[in-house]
Structure 1
Amino acid sequence: MSGTFTATKAELMHQAQARMRTHLAESGWTTRQKLALTCRILFDAGHDSGLAGQITARAEEPGTYYTQQLGLGFDEITEDNLLLVDEDLQVLDGSGMANPANRFHSWIYRARPDVQCIVHTHPFHVAALSMLEVPLVVSQMDIAPLYDDCAFLPAWPGVPVGNEEGEIITAALGSKKAILLAHHGHVVAGAGIEEACSLAVLIERGAELQLAAMAAGTIAELPDRLAREAHDWTLTPKRSQANFAYYARRALARHPDAIAG
């Protein structure tokens, strides 16, 4: 007879987390490979908007990061055509140039040593929600990783190629994992590539749900204690790794050219 039926919820959650650490293994992919896969995953998830948007990840040397080459769409990114750039967007390895809008990524990386990957895209539902000048409302369990972790910038500062936009976006983001930018799109600042990719998928899903719910009636709030519990339960490295591995398997089935191995 199993003893788990007398265990508390906290005990069961602790046991499950321990099992995840045992059974969910690291992928073994390099930073370049995970970044290329993220580009393909988010392309398939509707995050492409022509050449708009940037996805970056810290590289091995301080003050450097990987990003895509300006002129290539997310569906064209491979581990071999990514650029290595410094904070001034000078290319250290690779051909071509980085998107000048990457400047605000440099500001976020400077301010947030906990951030290892930044996703900025303009997916359809996020962009539509941004036009209403309202924050993202997290009122459904699947979107709980973003509960009280998505900031809102209500004033559009213009094209983010200047230092002032970097300062404004970084200040508005604060210590949160994501931000909705009015009349623009979103930014996700993840503790790892897996987390950033997972949250980027979720923020578009959340915006789609919110628009549908707003059209049907008034959105009811989640109970704060339970929502925070769900946030902490779902936003763990192992769960992000498992999410990413699933998304990556789907992406590789469609885009086997993304990585060499």
Structure 2
Amino acid sequence: MTTSRPVKTLPQRAGLGLKPEHYKTILSDRPDVGFFEVHAENYMGAGGPPHRYLEEIAALYPLSLHGVGLSIGAARGLDKAHLARLRQLIDRYRPQSFSEHLAWSTHETGFLNDLLPVPYTEETLARVVAHVDETQQTLGRPLLLENPSTYVLFADSTIDEVDFMATIAQRTGCGLLLDVNNVMVSAVNHRLDPFAYIDRFPVELVGEIHLAGYDETTDAAGDRLLIDAHGTSVRNDVIELYRYTLARSGPLPTLIEWDNDVPDFATLNAEAARADAMLSAAALQHAKGRAA
């Protein structure tokens, strides 16, 4: 279990992914955004314009650091050099949150440009727990582990996904990142009930929520197939699932993920404003519940 140092938490607001094309707009207009999130691997260089802009923005807004390359579910050991770069980045910016995916993307000496699922077995559970422990010890702080979007199920899986993630958190002291879009994508692809998934998810362990848009096609049988594409506004069914989640959890920091076909900042900010309105409503509802 990690030995943590004090870290401020993200506000219970909507945040946006920080994109280079929006640096100057953010610094000139100072928009009312709860926080910004950056992919850690994009800022692992020593300097240059990305760091110059990030330093200015991090001085104005809370920061969420999201890893996409740690390969925490891989069968091989973690990359010590990558962990060291993550530690340097965290020490430099002291983000309010650090998160990674329950996935793998490395094999032997190669790196795969995708986040691949893991089988939910006791062997995988022990390996992921060890990797989370190592990561938290190296970084000196807890991480949030994100539920995946999946397109296949493993025949040898013996543990339910929610139980798998809850056990990792219990054994390591990490928190969880609940990606509501990923829940919808996986549920539709595997003919499951996304609301039942949320009913079982340990929302008391969630430190951040992600929302994104998906693409839709059909599989060989003609059934719906959703793809976690991050290239559109958040779909209406994901919004309804998000409302349902907030009714259980209360307001939580919520990121709007839009990584492909990135629109102008006003369009992104409108997505954040929509989520902020739902967060405010959830805060009011939970306050009424406590007063009753």
TM-score bracket relative to the smaller structure: under 0.3
Q: Which has the higher contact order (CA 8 A, sep 6+)?
A: 1
TM score, norm. by length of structure 2:
0.25
TM score, norm. by length of structure 1:
0.28
